[in-house]
Amino acid sequence: MRTILAWVAACILAVAAIALLLGDALTSEAEVTNNPESYQAYDLMNERLTRTPETDPLTTDVVLVRSSTLTVGESGFREKVDALLTELRATPGVLHVADEPGARSERAIAISIGLNGEEGAEEVIQLVERADEEPFDVTTTGEWIVDRDFNKLSQSDLQEGELKFGLPVALVVLLLVFGAVVAGLIPLMLAIVAIMTALGLTALVGSVTDLSLFVVNMLTGMGLALGIDYSLFVVSRFREERSAGREKLDAIAASGATASRAVVFSGIAFALAMLGMVLVPDTILRSLALGAILVAITSVAAALTLLPAVLSLLGDRINSFRVPFVGRNSERGTGAEGRFWSAIVRWVLRRPVVSLVAATALLLALSAPVLALETGQAGIRTIPDSYPSKAGFNALEKEFGVGTTDSVEVVIDGPVGEPETRADVERLTAQLRGNRSFRQVSVDYHEPENLAVIEALPIGDSRDEAAFQAVRDLREEEVAGARVLVTGETAEAVDYLALTDRWLPIVFFFVLALSFVLLAIAFRSLVVPAKAILLNLLSVGAAYGLLVLVFQEGIGNEIFGFQKVEAIEAWVPLFLFAVLFGLSMDYHVFLLSRIRERYGQTGSNDEAVAHGIGSTARLITGAALIIIAVFSGFARGKLVMFQQMGFGVAVSLLLDATIVRSVILPASMKLLGDRNWYLPRWLRWLPNLHVEGPGR
């Protein structure tokens, strides 16, 4: 009871920390910390030109006024624009309003404004909604308006996925797996406790360093996955031991000596995979990794301490309120060999070569499209038309041919007053004016500061591949005696793509190496970790390939309600690898611990494989279905980046829990036989940690 009270106290303290600290600890801002070219150019302008919002207000957004009946020269139109200018100047979040309206056509005028962030964006959107009345069409778009809509959509998609879809499905799966309401609710309760305490720790960490607001969603999603998984394994083992005739306390001790050990190593494996994302110099990925690691720690702690206390308190009452038709069978069957999965595994063990070749060929075929993988960033075109920024983008593009206010700035650092340098700057400016990728090109010379700045607006979406290539081409330009740097929203996106491309192989190697070492120590084998890595790479590769097929090629995207896009979101492959590897290793450790336990009891490789997979298949499938449900909820959202993330995790875990675990793993273990546990003499000094427990 003291353990339970200690956790209650921890939850109360966590709630207090969340209420007092978490709100101020989170930010919607994202930045990379490797000082890319776009940051260098921006810092150079601020340093040389001493730019501030007061001395050199930046245009970040635009308000567009259109009319189908009035022209811009008519008094009614002018009065509307003047009234809007007055209201905009009186809005606290608007730092700057252009003295004169900017671009204009016969029936439209664009008002350039500078906002202080998302707070200003919200105020302007409300103002625009009030002003949008016949005979006028008033819209807004730009840097902060787009950011506001992306963040709003992100929060909506993630909350819908976790709370309205993932959580209910998780409860249904738990009830089906355990066949009893009390047993089904315990893992859910443990997950909620782990999430609350991890959020409290996040609030404390956030008081020292800023964290992305998405850390809450990552923490909640992973908390549901890990908290339920770990509790599922321990509760299942407890019920299995009780069904075998052990006394309550002996059953709890046996669960701790077996399933709980596997939980510890599963948690370590998951945390190590998440550490790969910490390496990347990106505040969002680091925040996501931190949230996942914290909730992994609290989930393991709850499974090791709180769960045994709850089991001791409940005893056999854990089987109360049985679910009709599945209750009796589930009470014994969660850890016993299931007929369906045992039949599949024994069929595979009789035909290991055919099974291995066929299943591996299928996953390799699914992985093949990864060769055409292109990465990019979601632009404004992927936002639904009903959102303010998209409506403004469409209106701006229709009227003036440019749908963005995100200008590209070419910074020339050198003696711009010198004839040769100035001639090159003029040449570059003229070249941009003749480039169909840009409009509204202008140049400012700051000779005393040895600086010139060329500004140009990209045509269309500033985040599409054409805009990215235009920036890359600009960076190849040379100016005599000067350094050429390119900045702006599009340039920052190009730098981010380069960052993820550079760090993806590093994260791959880091996660694979640490996972190999951990599994080698845990199971005292070199074959087991090597095979685990190959199997996980197969499921991850298949997920990548399906992402390309569905999102890039558009095969089946309409069936799922997904958007077809030019590229996969740049952070998605890196994120998927770390998360999928962590979750796959989680299941692999639990499964192999049961196989190793049986192997130690019988000495028969075939019997150990059949029993281990047959007795864990129902649990692993149930645990995978819960995570699939959570991430399928994300895939049901409106933002294409979360559609890609959710779909990638869901299909990979589906393949991992079925084809990999029930076909490829048993077939390969059958063919290798006792060599599965091979450890060379020079590594016999490794400690025997007995992840599988001492056995019965």
* Residue 28 Cα to chain centre, angstroms: 15
- Which of 490, 454, 409, 471 is CA-nearest to residue 43? 409
444's tokens: 């400012």
Q: Is the pLDDT of residue 331 over 80?
A: no
- Helix H, strand E, coil C: the string for 106-156 is CCEEEEEEEECCHHHHHHHHHHHHHHCCCCEEEEEEEHHHHHHHHHHHHHH
Domain for residue 293, yes or no? no
pLDDT, position 250: 83
Q: Could you give the percent of the chain with pLDDT greater than 70? A: 93
Residues 621 and 553 in one domain: yes
* Mean per-residue pLDDT, 417-430: 92
Q: Is the pLDDT of residue 691 over 80?
A: no
Domain for residue 83, yes or no? yes
Most confident of 282-291, 359-368, 556-565: 359-368
* Distance (Å) of CA 101 to CA 124, 287, 400, 497: 16, 41, 14, 35
pLDDT, position 539: 92
Q: Is the pLDDT of residue 65 over 90?
A: yes
Residues 109 and 89 in one domain: yes
What is the DSSP track for 30-69? --BSS--HHHHHHHHHHHHH---TTTSPPP-EEEEEEESS
pLDDT, position 402: 65
pLDDT, position 398: 82
pLDDT, position 333: 46
In whole angstroms, give the CA distance from residue 340 to residue 417: 80
Cβ neighbour number for residue 696 with a 10 Å cutoff:
11
Domains contained in the chain, number:
3
664's tokens: 């490829």
Query: For the segment 212-228, what is each residue's pLDDT rounded down to a tens digit?
Result: 888 888 898 889 888 88
Residues 364 and 503 in one domain: yes
Q: Residue 207 — pLDDT band, cuts 50, 70, 90? A: confident
Q: Is the pLDDT of residue 322 over 70?
A: yes
Domain for residue 455, yes or no? yes
CA atoms within 13 A on the CB side of 388: 30
Residues 478 and 499 in one domain: no
Beta strands at 568-569 and 375-376: parallel, antiparallel or unpaired: parallel
What is the DSSP track for 551-573? IIS-SSHHHHTPPP-SSEETHHH
Domain for residue 117, yes or no? yes
Residues 418 and 557 in one domain: no
Query: For the segment 353-371, what is each residue's pLDDT rounded down to a tens digit?
Result: 999 999 999 999 999 999 9
Tell me if 476 sits within 8 A of 455, measured CB to CB: no
Q: Is the pLDDT of residue 328 over 70?
A: no
Domain for residue 79, yes or no? yes
Most confident of 316-325, 399-408, 572-581, 600-609: 572-581
Name the residue range of residue 86's domain: 44-147
Size (the chain), residues: 696
Beta strands at 408-413 and 94-97: parallel, antiparallel or unpaired: unpaired
Q: Is the pLDDT of residue 491 over 70?
A: yes
For the ranges 180-184, 510-514, 672-676, the lowest mean pLDDT is seen at 180-184
pLDDT, the chain, mean: 86
209's tokens: 């360093």
Question: Of all helices (H) and strands (E), which one includes residue 456?
Answer: strand 451-458
Q: Could you give the percent of the chain with pLDDT greater than 90? A: 36
In whole angstroms, give the CA distance from residue 646 to residue 550: 13
Residues 483 and 354 in one domain: no
CATH number of the domain encompassing residue 517: 1.20.1640.10
Single-letter amino acid, residue 546:
L
In whole angstroms, give the CA distance from residue 234 to residue 590: 11
Residues 509 and 585 in one domain: yes
Task: Indicate the SS3 state at residue 484.
Answer: strand
Query: For the segment 586-599, what is each residue's pLDDT rounded down to a tens digit?
Result: 788 888 888 888 88
**Peptide bond preceding 168 in cis form (omega within 30 of 0):** no
Domain for residue 182, yes or no? no
pLDDT, position 327: 52
Tell me if 119 sits within 8 A of 93, measured CB to CB: yes
Kindly tell me the burial class for residue 558, based on how many C-beta atoms sit within 10 Å of its own C-beta (0-12, 13-18, 19 or more).
Answer: exposed
Most confident of 59-63, 337-341, 545-549: 545-549
Chain position carrying tokens 């059953």: 251
Among 460, 487, 514, the domain boundary falls at 487
Domain for residue 660, yes or no? yes
* Mean per-residue pLDDT, 494-501: 93
pLDDT, position 100: 67
Bridge-partner residues for 65, per DSSP?
Answer: 109, 138
Residues 501 and 592 in one domain: yes
* Mean per-residue pLDDT, 419-425: 92
* Mean per-residue pLDDT, 334-343: 65
* Residue 3 Cα to chain centre, angstroms: 34
Beta strands at 568-569 and 438-446: parallel, antiparallel or unpaired: unpaired
In the chain the first and final C-alpha atoms are separated, in Å, by 28
pLDDT, position 526: 92
Residues 576 and 436 in one domain: no
Chain position carrying tokens 């995570």: 627
Q: Is the pLDDT of residue 200 over 90?
A: yes
- Which of 433, 434, 452 is CA-nearest to residue 443? 452
Tell me if 147 sits within 8 A of 121, measured CB to CB: yes
Among 487, 502, 533, the domain boundary falls at 487
Residues 595 and 505 in one domain: yes
Most confident of 55-59, 176-180, 362-366: 362-366
CATH number of the domain encompassing residue 143: 3.30.70.1320
Q: Is the pLDDT of residue 24 over 70?
A: yes
Domain for residue 312, yes or no? no
Cβ neighbour number for residue 2 with a 10 Å cutoff:
7
In whole angstroms, give the CA distance from residue 236 to residue 577: 29
**Which residue would you say has higher pLDDT here, 177 or 363?**
363
- Which of 552, 620, 538 is CA-nearest to residue 586? 620
Range list of H helices, 302-387: 307-314, 327-333, 339-350, 352-367
pLDDT, position 55: 46
CATH number of the domain encompassing residue 467: 3.30.70.1430
Crossing angle of helices 571-602 and 214-243, rounded to 10°: 10
Query: For the segment 430-462, what is each residue's pLDDT rounded down to a tens digit?
Result: 999 988 888 888 898 998 889 999 988 887 677
Tell me if 512 sits within 8 A of 579, measured CB to CB: no
Among 472, 487, 502, the domain boundary falls at 487
Buried b (16+ CB within 10 A) or exposed e, 119-151: ebbbbbbebbeebeeeebbbbbbbbbbbbbbbe
Residues 595 and 517 in one domain: yes
Residues 426 and 509 in one domain: no
pLDDT, position 58: 66
637's tokens: 């959202």
Q: Give phi and psi for 277, each to the nearest 5.
A: -75, -25
Chain position carrying tokens 């045509």: 459
In whole angstroms, give the CA distance from residue 368 to residue 381: 28
**Which residue would you say has higher pLDDT here, 158 or 513?**
513
